[in-house]
Amino acid sequence: MSPDPRFDGPGPEEVWLTALKEGRFLLQHCRTCHACRFPPALVCGACGSSEIEWKEASGRGTIYSTTTVRERDNNYNVSLVDLAEGARMMSRVDGVSPDEVRIGMEVQARIVAEPEPIVLFAPSAGGAS
């Protein structure tokens, strides 16, 4: 009895965080059905295949929904971004006032140290809102 070799190696969260620390935004793609999965996991969320490939994300996305969190001294954006690859993630749109973030706005990812590295978005250059 030995562990199933399909699941050898570092776990998906470890792979994701390690890449992020190296300045890379990676997404999982299924080699079988080509679905993209985020957050990462052991198998494809669409078809269950363990044939997963990590690829650099394009960073392109569209705002699916958005809210402004209002604190006494600070307002900030929280958005759900539909990534061009097909997955959805929570993030923040910076570079514009939170009130200017709109559903349907095209955005571009970047990695920022806060101090831990995280993926943030800004409106795409020339992108329509």
Q: Which residues bind other proteins (CB under 8 A)?
A: 13, 38-39, 64-70, 76, 78-80, 88-92, 103, 114, 116, 118
Phi, psi of 14 (to 5 degrees): -65, -45
Determine the Cα–Cα distance for residues 64 and 53; give it in Å rounded to an integer. 25
Cβ 88 to other proteins, closest distance in Å?
5
User: Smaller CB distance to other proteins: residue 54 or 64?
Assistant: 64
The Cα diameter of the chain in Å comes to: 58
User: Smaller CB distance to other proteins: residue 6 or 13?
Assistant: 13
Cβ 44 to other proteins, closest distance in Å?
15
DSSP letter (8 states) at residue 12: H
Cβ 127 to other proteins, closest distance in Å?
18
User: Smaller CB distance to other proteins: residue 46 or 49?
Assistant: 46
Cβ 26 to other proteins, closest distance in Å?
13
Determine the Cα–Cα distance for residues 28 and 70; give it in Å rounded to an integer. 34
User: Smaller CB distance to other proteins: residue 2 or 72?
Assistant: 72
Determine the Cα–Cα distance for residues 15 and 27; give it in Å rounded to an integer. 10
Determine the Cα–Cα distance for residues 55 and 128; give it in Å rounded to an integer. 27
